Amino acid sequence: MAKKSVGCKEEILHITKNTQSDESKRVKPQQLESDFLKIFNQLIGRYNRWTVWSDFITIFACSISNILDKRHYEERENLYKSIVKKYNTEELKLFPQLMAQTFLALGIEPEQDFLGKIYMNLNLGNATRGQFFTPYSVCRLMAELSIDNELIKETIKKQGYISVNDPTCGAGATLIAAYNKLKRAFPNMQESIILSGQDIDQTVALMCYIQLSALGVSGFVKVGNTFSDPIIENDLLTNYWFTPNYYLDMELSKR
């Protein structure tokens, strides 16, 4: 994505490869959250918290999407450029650092809603929409109680995959908890798990997309109203964000 975006992409790929290194494992999750907030707060000044957060999430999502999603490349390239031109050189250096902190946090502790937690800590939730994210611990309990391992096994055997959908996904806590539960139960069947989510709020929908991508999930997120514009077969793909692993798994299935 232009010259400035290449650094973001390289940072994403580098961090993804190294989240399981011995050095990264020594970092405490709480420290990553604290470091993230320190970096983020350096961007506050010319723009308010909400604007900076929305811009960060959007360019982060565009950088991930444009690695493999050629269908939406030009549109998201232009969206990316329209945002980064607002920031000076020193400010732009901070965005890849925030991306790195996100990948490291989820690499070290995948059992969390990292971006959702930061979002609520920054008081960015939209109270008028009832936007209060369910704590991850509750989502994990729900996944443990509602996912039937035997039924999942039968479904995968019958159709070759299992899909999980959250029509009001928020930042993705419910989907992340479901994915982690399925991974624990079926450690050798990750390529058979497809997650999908939808949210009317573009920023939180992209938070979900980023976290699913960082965790190596095969799936997609749609931005839109679940009631008036739900995910359907043969849908227009304008507002769909497909994770890199979705494309990688599709390529593997063709071989």
Q: Where in the chain are the domains?
A: 2-109, 136-254
Q: What is the pLDDT of residue 27?
A: 78
Number of other residues whose CB lies within 10 A of the CB of residue 65: 28
Is residue 128 scored above 80 in pLDDT?
Answer: no
Q: What is the pLDDT of residue 73?
A: 96
Digit-coded pLDDT (tens) for 201-248: 999 999 999 999 999 999 999 999 999 999 999 899 999 999 999 998
Domain 136-254: give its CATH superfamily: Vaccinia Virus protein VP39 (3.40.50.150)
29 or 9, higher pLDDT: 29
Q: How confident is the model at residue 3 (pLDDT cuts 50, 70, 90)?
A: very low
Instruction: Return the bridge partners of 162, or none.
Output: 193
Which tokens sit at 7? 């650094």
8 A C-beta contact, residue 214 and residue 32: no
Instruction: Return the bridge partners of 166, or none.
Output: 197
For residues 190 and 162, give the distance between their C-alpha atoms in angstroms, rounded to a whole number.
10
12 or 101, higher pLDDT: 101
8 A C-beta contact, residue 163 and residue 174: no
Is residue 7 scored above 60 in pLDDT?
Answer: no
As to burial, measured by CB atoms within 10 angstroms (0-12 exposed, 13-18 middle, 19+ buried), residue 12 is buried
Is residue 2 scored above 50 in pLDDT?
Answer: no
The chain-wide mean pLDDT, for the chain, equals 89
Q: How confident is the model at residue 189 (pLDDT cuts 50, 70, 90)?
A: confident
For residues 136 and 112, give the distance between their C-alpha atoms in angstroms, rounded to a whole number.
6
Lowest mean pLDDT among 22-31, 33-42, 175-184: 22-31
129 or 124, higher pLDDT: 124
Digit-coded pLDDT (tens) for 28-75: 878 999 999 999 999 999 999 999 999 999 999 999 999 999 999 999
What pTM value is reported for the model?
0.90
200 or 188, higher pLDDT: 200
Q: Sheet harboring 162-166: ordered strands across? A: 162-166, 193-199, 218-223, 240-242
119 or 191, higher pLDDT: 119
